[in-house]
Amino acid sequence: MSEILKTEAVVLSKLNYGDTSLIISLFTKELGRISAILKGARSPKSKIGMKVDPLNYIEVVFYIKGTRDLQIISSADLIEHYSGIKEDLEKLKYAHSVIELVKNLTPEHEQNIRLFNGVVRILSLLESSSELPNLTFARFFLFFLHEIGYEVQLEKCVSCGRTDLEGMQLSYNFNSGLLCEQCRAEYLESFVINLELFSCLKGLKTNKKPIENANSQVIDRAIIFMEKYMMYHLSDFKGIQSLKLFK
């Protein structure tokens, strides 16, 4: 027997199905990431099809049945469609990167209200903030890594335990962790963390205001570092495709 559930959701993707229906991937507040079908959404008479465009923040009503792979959407109401993002190619690139990470790296049917609220907040910031879009995304990326259990350790040298790392030329071994100036030579493969990049990463992690003055190229380097970090730990992850598609 089906249960009726109303919840907030961010649309991750949609796919044509049959003659008039859509299959929707959603990140919901109550159920985590789920797949659902919206019957008749592509019919000329349908008023709901445009409400489930990717990136839209909606309130949706489901007929939920645990034995079904695809839940049935009964209705959807638009909360926010982020027109400012959709009219700006740079913002759109990073917004799609947000939902790509959620779609590809979060488990199905696992509630994470903190992550859900983080996704809604980052889309709102991309919509309205004057902050560099890559900086806004980099903040989210580091937060996302923490939420899915792959937090980046930046507090001490993993080899000697040294914590006074400011002003050093560091490196990061993806298998072991952060390495100080003296210990980095002991590891053959590592990602170079220069002074600017370390300051940027620390600022992103602690959310300190000085990070807002970071050079855009350094922020891009921080995003590349986080991509490579994830590629090392998750063999199926091949990087964020949206960052390449929107170049």
Identify the structural domains of the chain with CATH numbers, from first to last. Answer: 3-81 (2.40.50.140), 84-151+215-245 (no CATH)
At 6 the pLDDT is 94
- Which pLDDT score, from 0 to 100, does residue 212 have? 61
Task: List CB contacts of 135: < 8 A, sequence separation 6 or more.
Answer: 211, 212, 214, 216, 219
The pLDDT value given to residue 1: 61
pTM for this entry: 0.92
> What is the pLDDT, as a whole number, of residue 207?
72
* Owner of token pair 């990602």: 191
- State the Cα–Cα distance between residues 134 and 237, nearest whole angstrom: 20
Residue 211: the pLDDT is 66
Residue pointed to by tokens 């740079």: 90
pLDDT attached to residue 209: 54
For the segment 161-181, what is each residue's pLDDT rounded down to a tens digit?
Answer: 999 998 899 999 999 999 999
For the chain, list residues with pLDDT below 70.
1, 208-213, 247
Q: Which candidate, 106, 121, 124, places its Cα nearest to that of 27?
A: 106
| Percent of the chain at pLDDT exceeding 70 | 97
Report the alpha-carbon distance of residue 69 to residue 109 in Å, rounded.
11
